[in-house]
């Protein structure tokens, strides 16, 4: 019997946390994030509490495929397929918790290019939350060791991958207008 590598072990560990409605700290295609099931209200509440963030601020969700994105948004802008991580705020979505939507009902979603994130989402079968691993109002961490102990102590699980990797750049963010055009936010 072949033993599992660290990548597969971490996937299994995160899936167990997701199944229990838990939260986890993980490397994404941009920066370290706090994640959970993007359809689970209680798990999302935990993230807001961990971040000390107002629950009226939206969170980004990650999807692993164009098909999954289309199921949620009904539309696929050309910019989704980009060489850089790009988050798009969609005006109308379905199958996500209302807790991660903006006041106007829109949702920020990114098609992840990260192998680890893609594999989690594919095996879990649902989008996951990806919000920066910092207390609300503070700068995002560029490396794992810059993440506050308060965050590390309050998540249910910490992924043991990419802890030395420098992660400096959050995704670009665009808003999808009703006419299909995009407005750059960040």
Query: Residue ranges per domain, the chain?
Result: 6-184
Termini Cα distance of the chain = 48
Decide which of 179 and 129 is more confident.
129
Judged against a pLDDT cut of 70, whether residue 60 lies above it is answered with yes
Q: What is the pLDDT of residue 156?
A: 98
Q: What is the pLDDT of residue 186?
A: 86
Q: How sure is the predictor about 1, in pLDDT bands with cuts at 50, 70 and 90?
A: low
- One DSSP character per residue, the chain reads -PPPPHHHHHHHHHHHHHHTT--EEEE-SSSEEEE-BTT-HHHHHHHHHHHT--TTS--EEEESSHHHHHHHHS---GGGS-SS-EEEEESS--SS-GGGS-TTS-EEEEE---HHHHHHHHHH-S-EEEEESS-TTSPPPSSGGGS-HHHHHHSSEE--S-TT-----PPEEEEE-TTS-EEE--
> Tens digit of pLDDT for each residue in 74-121?
988 877 777 789 999 999 899 999 999 998 889 999 999 999 999 999
Q: Which fold has domain 6-184?
A: DHBP synthase (3.90.870)
> Tens digit of pLDDT for each residue in 29-56?
999 999 999 999 999 999 999 999 887 7
Judged against a pLDDT cut of 70, whether residue 4 lies above it is answered with yes
Task: Specify the range with the lowest mean pLDDT, choosing from 21-30, 58-67, 176-185.
Answer: 176-185
> Tens digit of pLDDT for each residue in 116-157?
999 999 999 999 999 999 999 898 888 999 999 999 999 999
Give CA–CA dist 87/105, Å, rounded. 16
Q: What is the pLDDT of residue 2?
A: 67
Decide which of 2 and 34 is more confident.
34
Task: Indicate the pairing of strand 128-132 with strand 32-35.
Answer: antiparallel
């Amino acid at each position: 019997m072949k033993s599992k590598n660290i990548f597969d072990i971490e996937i299994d560990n995160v899936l167990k946390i997701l199944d229990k409605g838990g939260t986890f700290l993980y490397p994404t295609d941009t920066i370290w994030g706090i994640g959970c099931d993007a359809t689970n209200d209680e798990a999302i509440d935990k993230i807001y509490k961990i971040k000390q963030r107002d629950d009226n601020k939206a969170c980004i969700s990650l999807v692993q495929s164009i098909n999954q994105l289309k199921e949620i948004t009904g539309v696929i802008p050309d910019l989704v397929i980009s060489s850089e991580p790009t988050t798009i705020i969609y005006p109308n979505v379905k199958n996500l918790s209302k807790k991660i939507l903006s006041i106007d009902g829109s949702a920020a979603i990114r098609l992840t290019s990260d192998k680890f994130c893609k594999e989690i989402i594919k095996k879990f079968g649902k989008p996951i939350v990806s919000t920066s691993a910092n207390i609300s109002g503070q700068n995002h961490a560029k490396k794992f060791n810059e993440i506050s102990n308060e965050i590390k102590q309050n998540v249910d699980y910490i992924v043991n991958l990419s802890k030395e990797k420098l992660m400096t750049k959050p995704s670009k963010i665009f808003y999808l207008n009703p006419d299909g055009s995009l407005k750059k936010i960040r």
